[in-house]
Amino acid sequence: MSTHSHEVVTDVRGEYPKFLQTFHRYLALCTKAYCGWPEEVFNKDSSGAHALLTAEATIEAIAYLIANPVEAGAVRYAKDWPESHTLPAQVGTRVIRVKRPRHYFDPNNPEWPEELELRLEMPVALELDYGPELARERIAERVRDRQHQARPELRGVWEPEPAVCGCRESSGGYRNSEAAPGIQGAVRAGAGSVDRR
């Protein structure tokens, strides 16, 4: 969603709190530079991290992330969300390539690569309990259920708001010439992915 990020992450190295802090910091700073916002981007309250202890809990969390724009009344179907999103068929198959934002990260700093790759891996618990295909089917089923449950509340009142960012292109200059230690690996292995290393 536009006001916050959602991720399902497996943290095998115990680095999730540091990853989340660094990820949110750079996402906020980059957003502020791009949009020209002087104020905070994220609420400073604690993040909503949840331990997903079963395969079903993982399916439910992924379905929640996918169906969130529908449940918020922003779109009728998750596939219609115009911003960054993942659909059930993409869990375990999608590879996202992201170019370095030119308005914030210094292209002359070798710590900031021109492009990063993020692989959205199938959570291990789902792979072991269901296998990849059945896991995707179970996620899709839960997304359909959540979308169906959201729509009765929206019937007759659903009017999508026009997407308004309020952003403007930065007038120039790179806002950051230093890289945070480990951020490249964290971005490759972190947000929205499940890292089995």
Q: Check residue 104 and give its pLDDT.
A: 82
3-state SS track over the chain: CCCCCCCCCCCCCCCHHHHHHHHHHHHHHHHHHHHCCCCCCCCCCCCCCCCCCCHHHHHHHHHHHHHHHHHCCCCCCHHHCCCCCCCHHHCCCCEEEEECCCCCECCCCCCCCCEEEEECCCCHHHHHHCCHHHHHHHHHHHHHHHHHHHHHHHCCCCCCCCCCCCCCCCCCCCCECCCCCCHHHHHHHCCCCCCCC
pTM equals 0.71
Q: What percent of the chain has pLDDT over 90?
A: 30
Q: Which tens digits make up the pLDDT trace of 83-137?
A: 878 899 999 999 999 898 887 888 888 888 899 998 889 999 999 999 999 999 9
